[in-house]
Structure 1
Amino acid sequence: MFRKIFEKVNFRWINAQHVLKMLENKKPWLVAIYAVIFFVICITLWQSLPSNSGHVAKVAPYTLHTSNTSGYLYPVQTLPQDDYHQLINLKNFTFAVFNAPCNDSNPLLLVLVHSAPRNFETRMAVRTTWGRNSLQVKVLFMLGLVKSHRLKVQIEKENEEFGDLVQGSFLDTYRNMTYKHVMVFKYAIYHCPQAKYILKTDDDVFVNMPLMLNFLTADLSPFGGSRMIFCTLREKSPVVRSWRSKWRVSFREYAAKTYPPYCPGWAVLYSPDVVFDLYREAQKTDYFWIDDVHITGTLIEKIRLKHVDVDDLVLNRNALYQPEKDRGPFLFGPPNMDDEEIKALWEYVEEHENRVSLLKYIT
């Protein structure tokens, strides 16, 4: 067997006479070198041989619940007494506008949508397409405060009509997005604890809701799961230092050259336990304004969680304008869609409802 191994790697077989000759010539160190090389080659080839134990199934980094008795209960009693009115470093947080559609219901999915206050038409596009409230799905739009009195009145009227806005007591600005993301967690924990899954999205996102519900109930579990974060994973992203970029981060804000693996925040699916763990960490961690990196990168590392990449389930933007036959199964449309694209894609989904398994597409 050893002769065959040596022949495979083009090594000449060393016979016993050759070894004795080296010893006679007082070259034991050369024998030792040959022995080490021989040992390393044997181990390497042995590890490369196919196993007789058959295919080993990939172990999922998350756990699925198999019965309703294993549902997650948020341990809010472990939080500080004044936690409800704290949002990271804001000590007097309140919900300026509030709705509680989860009362007396047990939704499968809670969808909390980051929305800019002025995006009235975009919110309407979501309401009339994939973001319709039902027994299984509760959809709310998350906003911050505005300075304009006129805009404030418009928001109040919108909420009176639709009852699906949640507004936190911080200004809705670009650098306050981490407040809004943690407010998503706070709302889920305190006001919709019965939801089995939490989806955080932006308002310019399309969710293939029929296939999403099939994915959660058939591929995953109608009773929920744990240790779960599904997103379009980004790795080794460089920290932007250019003054010309709105993403510029100073060395004082973030010293490393690259960010940890993180999820672009436009679509992140969480299990409740992950929501709670991230919320608890965010409440006691220094503020960093890029919420995607901070929450789904830095804080995910702190709780030692592995992301599940669903990038293969995002529809390519080119597919929006290609023949329908070129579109495979997808959970999300491409990011940064406009209102008309959202409406058109919803018409397509309604006409081509395809409840297929998606497990082979996630990694």
Structure 2
Amino acid sequence: MRSEAKYIVGACTLTGLITILVYSSEVNIADASNRIIPESIKSSVSDTKSQLWDIVSNFGGSTPGSSKPYIHQNLHPSNLTLVNLTNIKFPINRDICNVSEIGIVTIVHTAIDHQNLRSIIRDTWGNPKIPGVNTRLVFLTGTTEHDDQQARLLDESNTYHDIVQADFHDSYHNLSYKNVFGKMWTSQFCEQAEFIVKTDDDMFLDLYGIYHLSRNYLTTDIYKNGEFVFCPVWYGMPILRDKNNKWYVSEEELEGKDYPPYCTGWIYVTNPKTAGRLAEQATKSKFLWVDDAWVTGILVKALGFKHTNMMEWFVMQGERMVLFKSAQNPDIYHRDYIAAPNGNREIAEYLERHARWCYINQCDSNIYKTKLGQQTKKEKYNDELLERFILHNNGYNSP
């Protein structure tokens, strides 16, 4: 990821039509993030919304939800099974979910030596300022053979109180243990949370947008019955048999040609009841190290329910997310995203401010207003016009 983003978004009103132009410029994104949206776009919104922008720009905190204590007395139980590991131990565990009302708990898969990425998430999008809502941030990891790494991790945990560790070796081929560990931990130690958001430490998530979208599912049967997995879904993905491939799986490990539908591991949303069911099913199903395909594909299939697809809000290019977030506005419809790869602090700060501003001002997008495919002709025209300018003027091919 580049350390600089070279995007400026401008807007002008001409005979009642909004035309959006995107230019390349040598602008440090930290400077741009101080405004979130350019003055030219601010001038196109109503005075009331501009005043709201000024309020949100200076908004330094949030009004928390209920702070009634919710204490987990035993943080080191002796009877838990993680997949096929009995009596799993927690070298590090914290009562992170210690209040009675939690809107979102974000579970981040992290490597032990990724301290910088954890710092970026803590300081930017991982602790959103959603008025009236408690959120929690949890970094998951396994163990290391290096005493110095473990000592640094313990010091970090003692400082921030947001790391949980289980006693399986932290490695790529043990990601399925880490994945199920997150499900088990939340179902045991954050069972009062409304939603669980799972991601990796090299991502940016718009937790404001995710929180808003999640409201639609609280009263649904799939949520109540523990059948809720909301994610970008991969369909018809082949099981790779080339021994030189990173994701090689042998016939002995898994038979068949294709995986069942499964989630990208970069972002998915579930709830504690569903997480508990997946963790339990993992103790009954044949183990597979390809974690996303196993946990959100094979285990979901074994439990007999289907995913809710969020592909329209997911993008695989971080630069594209910066462009589209920059174009958001309460008065001009344009599509938006809630998840994209990112490991850059300045970009994370910039995107988090955009996300917060849009939550307060209810930007006219597929997150807060109109779903894709349900726009008016005018909204669709303006959306397509904006997208062509954004992509063309920043080196992308227009769709």
2:156 alignment partner in structure 1: 158
Q: 1:196 to 1:322 in 2, by over 3 A?
A: closer
1:214 alignment partner in structure 2: 212
1:344 alignment partner in structure 2: 350
Q: Distance in 1 between matches of 2:322 and 2:270?
A: 31
Q: Give 1:358 shift.
A: 6.2
Q: 1:361 to 1:301 in 2, by over 3 A?
A: farther
Superposed counterparts of 1:33-52, under 5 Å = none
2:274 alignment partner in structure 1: 274
In 2, are the aligned partners of 1:208 and 1:330 still within 8 Å (CA)? no
1:127 alignment partner in structure 2: 122
Q: Distance in 2 between matches of 1:139 and 1:124?
A: 12
Q: Distance in 1 between matches of 2:83 and 2:351?
A: 37
1:98 alignment partner in structure 2: 93
Q: Distance in 2 between matches of 1:114 and 1:316?
A: 18
Q: Give 1:359 shift.
A: 7.5
Q: Which has the larger radius of gyration?
A: 1
1:137 alignment partner in structure 2: 135
Gaps of 5+ in 1: 1-81
Structure 2 residue corresponding to 1:109, chosen from 104, 108, 126: 104
**Letter paired with 1:325:** A
Task: Note the alpha carbon deviations across 1:100-149, whole angstroms, 9 max, x for none.
Answer: 12123320111111111111010010001111177521110001001111
Q: 1:154 to 1:361 in 2, by over 3 A?
A: farther
Task: Note the alpha carbon deviations across 1:272-313, whole angstroms, 9 max, x for none.
Answer: 332122111111222110110111111111111111111111
Q: Give 1:268 shift.
A: 1.2
Q: Distance in 2 between matches of 1:315 and 1:178?
A: 24
Q: 1:298 to 1:175 in 2, by over 3 A?
A: same
Q: Distance in 2 between matches of 1:169 and 1:245?
A: 28
**Letter paired with 2:268:** V
CA RMSD of aligned residues (A): 2.7
Superposed counterparts of 1:74-93, under 5 Å = 84-93=79-88
Q: Give 1:347 shift.
A: 3.4
**Corresponding residue SS for 1:319:** helix
Structure showing the higher strand proportion among its residues: 2
Work out the number of aligned pairs and report it: 281
Task: Note the alpha carbon deviations across 1:149-180, whole angstroms, 9 max, x for none.
Answer: 11111101101110000001011000111111
**Letter paired with 2:202:** D
Q: Distance in 1 between matches of 2:284 and 2:107?
A: 23
Q: Distance in 2 between matches of 1:115 and 1:339?
A: 16
Q: Distance in 1 between matches of 2:255 and 2:220?
A: 41
**Corresponding residue SS for 2:294:** helix
Q: Distance in 2 between matches of 1:157 and 1:243?
A: 40
**Corresponding residue SS for 1:99:** coil
Structure 2 residue corresponding to 1:201, chosen from 195, 199, 202: 199
Q: Distance in 2 between matches of 1:320 and 1:240?
A: 30
1:235 alignment partner in structure 2: 235
2:171 alignment partner in structure 1: 173
Q: Give 1:197 shift.
A: 1.1
In 2, are the aligned partners of 1:111 and 1:199 still within 8 Å (CA)? yes
Q: Distance in 1 between matches of 2:328 and 2:315?
A: 10
1:306 alignment partner in structure 2: 306
In 2, are the aligned partners of 1:216 and 1:222 still within 8 Å (CA)? no
In 1, are the aligned partners of 2:232 and 2:310 still within 8 Å (CA)? yes
**Corresponding residue SS for 2:141:** strand
Question: Do residues 360 (structure 1) and 371 (structure 2) align?
Answer: yes
In 1, are the aligned partners of 2:128 and 2:207 still within 8 Å (CA)? no
Q: Give 1:319 shift.
A: 1.9
2:247 alignment partner in structure 1: 247
Q: Give 1:83 shift.
A: 8.2
Q: 1:255 to 1:315 in 2, by over 3 A?
A: closer
Q: Give 1:341 shift.
A: 3.3
**Corresponding residue SS for 1:110:** strand
Q: Distance in 2 between matches of 1:202 and 1:236?
A: 23
Task: Note the alpha carbon deviations across 1:192-245, whole angstroms, 9 max, x for none.
Answer: 11111111111112111222222223x333899332111110011111122222
Q: Give 1:350 shift.
A: 3.8
**Corresponding residue SS for 1:151:** helix
**Letter paired with 1:110:** V
Q: Distance in 2 between matches of 1:223 and 1:89?
A: 33
Gaps of 5+ in 2: 1-76, 374-399
**Corresponding residue SS for 2:167:** strand
Question: Do residues 332 (structure 1) and 332 (structure 2) align?
Answer: no
Q: Distance in 1 between matches of 2:277 and 2:370?
A: 26
Q: 1:83 to 1:335 in 2, by over 3 A?
A: farther
Q: Distance in 1 between matches of 2:154 and 2:335?
A: 38
Q: 1:173 to 1:191 in 2, by over 3 A?
A: same
Q: Give 1:331 shift.
A: 4.8
Question: Do residues 287 (structure 1) and 287 (structure 2) align?
Answer: yes
Among the aligned pairs, what percent are the same residue?
26
In 2, are the aligned partners of 1:209 and 1:331 still within 8 Å (CA)? no
Q: Give 1:348 shift.
A: 3.0
